[in-house]
Chain A
Amino acid sequence: MNANDQEKHFLGKVKDLLDEGVENINSQTRERLEVVRIRALRSAEEKRPKS
């Protein structure tokens, strides 16, 4: 493998590991993230001027 291929291979491996880390976020944190998202959507809705 040349240097470019080695770097691509390394980055592919890193990306896989990062993706795996995301998939394995525990259920409690996933639920808290869902709450965060709902709160963000609702708070923005409340602050938006009514038409």
Chain B
Amino acid sequence: MEALPSLPNVAMKNGRIQIKKQTKATIVMRIVLWTLFAMTVIGPFLLDYGEIDWAEALSLTLGNLQMMFLQPAFNQITFGTAMMQIGITLALAFLATVLGAVISFFLAAFSARNLSPAWLANIIIASNSFVRAVPTVLWVLIFAIVAGLGAIACVLGMMLHTIAYLTKAYAESFEELDEGTIEALKASGANWWHIVWHAVIPQSSSYIISWTFLRFETNYDVAVAMGAAAAAGGIGFELFMASSFYYDLHEVGMITYCALVVAILLEMISIRIKRHYLGKA
């Protein structure tokens, strides 16, 4: 039985009522998605695989993975050294986060739309998005030109990226502040600093804490990579030595596990903090 549309503007196709109307945009989107899908499927068949023996390649890869993750062991370093190196990595992340957070706080106060004039806010927001567009690794390497490769360049580079990230996060939580609260304090003769300190901070402190810790977690991940890439020391450097210098896959596995456990711990703390502060917000 064919359903007849009760309204003149209802779209029909093969005697069925259409829920969505086909527009140019939906057709283009569909063509793009199907093309991408086809390319993904065809792609691997077009690669040049040379003389690879698939069975051998697969068994060797699995063997390496097995060595790494099923037989982890310390050979060149001890568990104590690993822990100390993780401590150094955490310290790098901590330093970059704390320094960045303090500077971010002031920049955020100057770039929140409800606290600052538009021109100042726009300047800070624009330069921030520029800083954020450049990856952290690149900033570290840029700072390495002046500070030399090592911990200082690493902290400076991570700090810069942290500032750009946290300023945005803080400013957004400042902007959540009820306009009336600012008005009330202004009307009683309070100046800008009074308002920031006694209305903005108490109202957004929980956001500040959880954003800061989230960034600390990110900075730890980055600091691991920086240990290798910028010779900043820490567990990342040990990982680099174990893999590229000693070719010791057992140790690579062990170090990965150590770094992973700390990352998971941080993640758990971060979730706790978020639930504790933001849950009640």
Instruction: Note whether A and B form a binding pair.
Output: no
B interface residues (Cβ-Cβ under 8 A, vs A): none
A interface residues (Cβ-Cβ under 8 A, vs B): none
